[in-house]
Chains A and B, each alone.
Chain A
């Protein structure tokens, strides 16, 4: 067993510096690496490029890094629900690259899997494809999209063991597994960190080989963005 456990979020983020590119898991506020984000806010690293499907809300998630103007560029598929984001984007303070959600996932997966680029039909004929190589396969047009290159991937899982094996819960899984092993260093934070042998190898979603550091998150707020309920009849 190769031990990936680090004892604190501070240790987990060793090597993080200004002007780096980060991948951050999560969809909306579900499955975001809350503890890593809090530590990035604390360290005041700036000039960051963040690859994340969304940009959080004004006072939570990546919104916290936006408040501190720590982000130089966002690569996302959907950035609604965040006024500060919109203000920084429209004023030109923040550089934004909007790309289709499936393309975002696949550019992560390509980096994880060792593919330099992939062809996707998404965005063909739209401004997303402008300046990109296109090619026809079997009569349909595709756009060449390159694998991401990132310094750190910050992911959040439900359970993990000290070997770095991960299990996700519900739709908090989202981009997290696709970002594991897609950056130079993958830092996983988990709600429950177990000794080896406690997780059933049949149930592992991401094998520890894709993870360099793992720690137990001190606290999870798990904020709900749109609380919707049905009436009891």
Chain B
């Protein structure tokens, strides 16, 4: 079974040379730590920066340079700043190659819910609806089950949707799955996790074809 860093490490393998990547808050943010050093990748933050670098050293924080999580950041050589409309032109116009975000629920048809729990949590969708509606390459990073132990990979989302039929790939603490027209296709198992474990933790339709390899991270 993977921890959050393990999930991020596995997703980092999906980041290819020359990609512009948007990382959501939470596990997706960790992906930046594990991207191969021999490839060129630029991270976009939807509040208006491309070419995001690591956190600043103490004393070098700048209130005018933050990421979408409102954290102080630095920029790398070649970085640029821009307004919000331009930022979402990059996203809506499909100029960003890969979007990695978290989810509360994903359905077997690729629907995603991650912005609202009616009566409980109403923080808002931020840029998530724009990202999922436009990106062609969306990977969801999340735990396979919620804190109560219930599956987050469902036949149908129970929470208000963020987007419809948009998720392409899911990496959880248990498995890597691809969303196909017939359901969640199991691609890889996490170390020490059996196909049976994954089946038990998946409420939606899980497609198991042949031997499922253990992932390498």
Residue numbers of A with Cβ under 8 A of B are 27-31, 53, 76-81, 86, 89-90, 96, 98, 100-106, 108-109, 120-128, 158, 168-178, 205, 222-230, 232
Contacts and interface: CB of A to CB of B under 8 A. Distances in A.
B162 interface: yes
A169 B64 contact: yes
Nearest to A86: B122
Given A27-B47, A223-B63, A174 B84 contact: yes
5 contacts: A30-B70, A76-B124, A79-B124, A122-B92, A125-B164
A168 B47 CA distance: 14
B127 interface: yes
Contacts, number: 182
Contact of B85 (A90, A109, A123, A227): A109
A76 B180 CA distance: 34
Interface residues of B, number: 51
A105 B83 contact: yes
B43 interface: no
Contacts of A109: 85
B72 A227 contact: yes
B135 to A, nearest CB: 10
Interface of B: 45-49, 54-58, 60-73, 81-85, 87-88, 91-92, 111, 122-130, 133-134, 160-165
A122 B92 CA distance: 8
Contacts of B55: 228-230
Given A77-B127, A78-B125, A128-B129, A226 B84 contact: no
Given A124-B163, A176-B83, A177-B83, 11 more contacts: A120-B130, A122-B133, A122-B134, A126-B161, A171-B49, A171-B65, A171-B66, A173-B82, A222-B64, A226-B72, A228-B71
Nearest to A120: B92
A102 B134 CA distance: 11
B122 A100 contact: no
Contacts of B57: 229-230, 232
Contacts of A171: 45, 47-49, 64-67, 81
A30 B63 contact: yes
Given A106-B88, A122-B92, A175-B84, A100 B66 contact: no
B84 A122 contact: no
